[in-house]
Structure formats: C-alpha cells, structure tokens
Structure 1
Amino acid sequence: MSILSEDSSVISKTKDLCAQIVAEPRFKELQGRVERFLDDDAARLQYQSVHERGEELHHKQHAGVELGAAEIREFEAARDALFKNEIARGFLEAQRELESIQQTIGKYIGMTLELGRVPEAEDFAEAEDGCCGGNGGCGCH
C-alpha cells in the first residue's frame, strides 16, 4: 500500500490534523474575517485598488522609472485608508495568520522528511543558524 493511498495511516492522520485545525476556535474566527471581507464589495474593491496600484508602482520602479512624490503620497493615503477599514484590516490580519499556520505545518513536515523523525525545537533553531547564519543568503531557508 502506498504511503499516500486514501486508506493509509498517513492520510488518516493528515485528515485528523485538518479536522483539528477546522475545530480550533481561532481558525473559525480567522475564517469568519475572510468571509466577512469576501461579502463586503466595498472592502474588496478598496483592497483590489490598493493592491493593483502597489503592483503598478512596483513595476514602474523595477523598470527604472523614478516614482513621483505625488503618486507615492496618493498610494500611501490609499493604503492608510485601507488599513483603517476594519473589515479589510481584519482580512489582512487573518490572511497573514493563516499563511503562518500553513508555513509552520509545512516546516514540521519538511523537517520530518529531512530528518526521518519528528523535529524538536532545537532542530528548527539549528536549521535557522545553519550554513548562512539564518539569514537565508545561501538559499537554504
């Protein structure tokens, strides 16, 4: 039987983990923030506008075009207004926390596959302090 077959113990435990995540009150709260944002057309449009404008400015800057002070101020004002929008801010915070959960679980699984055992806190510390002092300069993190 494959380690990834639907009836394997690994998939069973993975489903248990997923069920535990979904049952967590904090997850339900984060999910509620995302749903609230998705249901609010004004917040979504505001977010989309700021995101698109930020990408546009990034591309201009990356292409060597010097950004004008006025367009920078306009973007910063729009971004500040977005962060003042409780629904959009809640969405951004929820999105950040959900991504952190996903990254942390991914680190545990990756380290398990690398070490061949369940990682300890020291393993993560050693990995961060490894070949490049934890700064990611060598591409190992």
Structure 2
Amino acid sequence: MLADDSPVMVKARELCAAITEDSRYLELQQQVEKFLDDDSAKLMYQSVHERGSELQQKQRAGVELGAAEISEFESAREELLNNPVARDFLDAQGELETVQRAIGKYVGMTLELGRVPTADDFAEADSGCCGGGGGGGCGC
C-alpha cells in the first residue's frame, strides 16, 4: 500500500495536489506568509505564547496567579488579537488544523470501518456511540 506507485499513494498525492490548488488553501497560505514576513507580529505572538505557557506552568505547579499578571497577559493577548496580521495568522492556523483533523478522521474511520464512512458514521462517532470510543449506550 505504501509503495510510491501504489493506488493508495497515487491518490494521496492527488489529494495533496487538490489541497494545494484549492483557492481557500492559497488564501490561508498567504495569511501565514504575511505573518512570517511581519517581525512585529511574530514577536508579539511569541511573547504572548511564552507568557501563556509560563502562566500555565505556574497553575499546574499550584501557584496562584496574581490579578496583575493575569491582567497583563489578557492585555497583551487582546493587543495580539487586534493586530490584523496576527489575527489572520491565528485564524488561518486554526482553519488549516481543522482541515488536517477532518482528513485524518476520515482516513482513520476508513481504516477502522473497512469502508468509506458515511455521514451517519461521523454522526455516531461525534455522539460518542461505538466509533466515538465510549459505547454510550448505543447497543455496542
């Protein structure tokens, strides 16, 4: 199945080509590139990301966060989200991750079910029945 010329790998390359040729994907890539070219937006993003990680580590360690440091973080985060380049990057990143998860879920369910999943299969998985990993009283 994984041989370079196998039908599965040929279709995988076709899927990848379809993604990279999609107009929405091209727009998202432009937003990412615009962000990567904007040193100010990147620095702002990095600063907020690092500060958020520090605060999470403190919380996990049981340290109570002070109102001032929470306020400072929220202010920096708001400033980041008010930057159109950074905001577009975050939106693009989220949308690309959603596409990646959806395609992964589709392929994963295909391998699990041994057939192409239907809309009902996805609905069942999302409701927690059988394929959703919990049984959930669905007669599984």
Q: Any residues of structure 2 matched to 1:118-137 within 5 Å, and which?
A: 118-131=116-129
Count of matched residue pairs: 133
**What percent of counterpart residues are identical?**
65
- Residue 86 of structure 2 corresponds to 88
Match of 2:104 among 90, 103, 106: 106
User: For 1:6 and 1:58, how far apart are their aligned partners in 2?
Assistant: 44
Q: Any residues of structure 2 matched to 1:39-58 within 5 Å, and which?
A: 39-58=37-56
TM-score (norm 2): 0.91
User: For 2:52 and 2:89, how far apart are their aligned partners in 1?
Assistant: 18
User: For 1:60 and 1:42, how far apart are their aligned partners in 2?
Assistant: 27
- Residue 23 of structure 1 corresponds to 21
- Residue 137 of structure 2 corresponds to none
Q: Which runs of 5+ in 1 are unaligned?
A: none
Map Cα deviations across residues 45-75 of structure 1 (whole Å, 9 max, x no partner).
0000000000000100110100000000000
Q: Aligned-residue CA RMSD in angstroms?
A: 1.3
Q: Which runs of 5+ in 2 are unaligned?
A: 135-140
User: For 1:130 and 1:55, how far apart are their aligned partners in 2?
Assistant: 31
Give the counterpart letter for 1:68 in structure 2: G
